[in-house]
Amino acid sequence: MATTMAGGGVPASAKTFLGHPRGLYMLFFAEMWERFSYYGMRAILVFYLTKHFLFGENPAYAVYGAYTSMVYITPVIGGYLADKYLGARKAVFAGGILIAIGHLLIALVEGPQGEQGVYLNGFYAGLAFIIVGTGFLKANISVLVGQLYRRDDVRRDGAFSIFYMGINLGAFIGPILIGYLGERVGWSWGFGAAGIGMLLGLVVFVLFRHDLHGAGAPADPVLLAARTPLGISREWLIYLGSIVVVGIAWLLIRDESTVGTLLLACFGVTFLYIFYRALFTLPRVERNRVFAALYLIALCPLFWALFEQAGSSLNVFTDQRVDRHFLGWEMPASWFQSVNSFWIITLAPLFGILWVWLGKRGLEPSAALKFALGLIQVGLGFIVLVLGAGRDGAMTPMLFVILLYLLHSTAELCFSPVGLSSMTRLSTGSMVGLMMGTWFLSTAAGNFLAAQIAQMTGGEGAGPDRVLEVYWSIGWYIIVIGVVAMPVSWLVSRLMHLDTIGQDETGHALAGESQLAEPAAAGTRTKDEQH
């Protein structure tokens, strides 16, 4: 068996394709199919609840919010278990199996329209499997990409760019195929296609796992195989424990308020703990950098609360109020979920060139200023939609929805990659993992707040233009916050001490990490993570 080089990376003798280890392309296709399944299913989730189970819009938004919130919480746990016990490779495989089970379970328990009971409980169980499976897979497959290369390998940035193109390719194709099947052929066909997509990703992962050359192996195989007091190995104890967590998620998915309370409490306690540690245990420069990172984290839920209307209220608005006819044929509403990925694939390279061009001239905006610009753009997206929307039941031209997604995509490129890069760059060595976990928690909090905003657009007594009133209000609110954040960004940039970040041991190490994080996040949703 080939061994990895000292310092990480695949052996120098390993086969390559287009200058990169073949394992990169295996991970590209595995992640592409996983994102295909996730974003494709997300595009029809609210429609399935409202049109098949006949939920009202607000209860459907509540389930959607609980689901998307938990999807961003579990990777924190899955990442810890992989680091400590399983290794990234086993974690990704286990996660893929759970995700496939979840999608196929939803497809198999569709039942007659309007009937809930066992069918609805089966649907919740499917979501619970996907939540736990995503926790194992989401962060750890990116870890595998990094482990294919030495830390000083100049190919790393390009590798992450290729890998995250797979994310957006899957996110682009998924809503088109799964959305069409779900809306026009049958719901079970859509969810079944999502499950088959994940199975295809697993097949690729298993057949070509040898191209990983040992990357993602357990940190301590002896510890993982050791017997526990229950008479089973620690590895199988983790797998059985994940089934227990599926049961917990199954209970929580129907109780949005409990999910929100636990999430916000966890986020608040973690935020305050980091603030306390920074204030009382870190030297001045490192303390200031952590304070700057906490400022960015605090803005994160505001951004995602608006951005994540895409899968809930904006999806329903597109279905009910947008003229989707093209050459005499009406497009499925779920197809518009692919527009964001199209813009990201198109614009991400241009933004990369823009930042480099501005950086060489000393004009590149700081991370805090990019966040402010991102908030302004996500608000402008809603303002543009409202200005172009039809009133009193008139249909809205699809152009204005496409323009909204354009502004939201440019906002995402100012926010998501910059945020992930900043977390690794500004955190002190002993807190990097904690800061990244808090970033994911803030994204989960944003998804929860998104559900609250979506519920403001519907419900009893809400007129047909209520959604436009909400969009107009939140659009201007976030623009004002972004404008206020622009001068504040100058102070935050001073807290970052960027002029000395490469001159101390901690700053030097983290700056190197940041060079890896930004291209990796260029096309992600959190989303991923991310987007």
- Ranking 9-13, 110-114, 338-342 by mean pLDDT, the lowest is 9-13
Residue 320: pLDDT over 80: yes
CATH class, range 20-521: mainly alpha
Q: How far apart are CA 236 and CA 279, in angstroms?
A: 41
Residue type, 121: N
Pair type for strands 329-330 and 325-326: antiparallel
Between 26 and 519, name the one with better pLDDT: 26
- Ranking 277-291, 308-322, 374-388, 409-423 by mean pLDDT, the lowest is 409-423
Integer-rounded Cα radius of gyration of the chain: 22
Each domain of the chain, given as residue ranges in start order, spans 20-521
Residue 521: pLDDT over 60: no
pLDDT in tens, 274-318: 889 888 888 888 889 889 989 999 999 999 999 999 989 999 999
* pLDDT for res 309: 94
Residue 3: pLDDT over 80: no
Q: How far apart are CA 33 and CA 45, in angstroms?
A: 18
* pLDDT for res 424: 67
Residue 373: pLDDT over 50: yes
Instruction: Write the CA distances from 40 to 65, 175, 182, 336, 429, integer angstroms.
Output: 17, 4, 9, 11, 37
pLDDT in tens, 165-222: 788 899 999 999 999 999 999 999 999 999 999 999 899 888 988 877 777 888 788 8
* pLDDT for res 5: 44
Question: What is the number of residues in the chain?
Answer: 531
Q: How far apart are CA 442 and CA 76, in angstroms?
A: 12
Closest Cα partner for 64 from 256, 316, 252, 194?
256
* pLDDT for res 157: 62
* pLDDT for res 7: 47
pLDDT in tens, 456-493: 987 665 666 889 999 999 999 999 999 999 999 999 99
Determine what percent of the chain is predicted with pLDDT higher than 70: 88
506 — pLDDT class (breaks 50, 70, 90): very low
User: Average pLDDT over the chain, rounded to whole?
Assistant: 84
- Which residues have a Cβ under 8 Å from the Cβ of 330 and sit 6 or more positions away? 324
* pLDDT for res 529: 45
Closest Cα partner for 447 from 94, 35, 129, 74?
74
* pLDDT for res 238: 92
pLDDT in tens, 424-442: 677 776 666 677 778 888 8
515 — pLDDT class (breaks 50, 70, 90): very low
Residue 122: pLDDT over 50: yes
* pLDDT for res 178: 95
What is the pLDDT averaged over residues 32-50?
92
3-state secondary structure of 382: helix
Closest Cα partner for 301 from 254, 262, 263, 341?
263
Residue 508: pLDDT over 60: no
Between 328 and 1, name the one with better pLDDT: 328
3-state secondary structure of 432: helix
Determine what percent of the chain is predicted with pLDDT higher than 90: 44
Residue ranges of alpha helices (H) inside 48-186 are 57-81, 88-108, 117-147, 156-180
DSSP per position, 238-275: HHHHHHHHHHHHHHHTT-HHHHHHHHHHHHHHHHHHHH
Closest Cα partner for 315 from 46, 37, 39?
46
Residue 526: pLDDT over 70: no
What is the pLDDT averaged over residues 50-74?
91
Q: Label residue 359 exposed, middle or buried (CB < 10 Å: 0-12, 13-18, 19+).
A: exposed
Residue 186 structure tokens: 């049958």
What is the pLDDT averaged over residues 368-388?
95
* pLDDT for res 509: 43
Residue 524: pLDDT over 70: no
Between 412 and 162, name the one with better pLDDT: 412
What is the pLDDT averaged over residues 384-411?
92
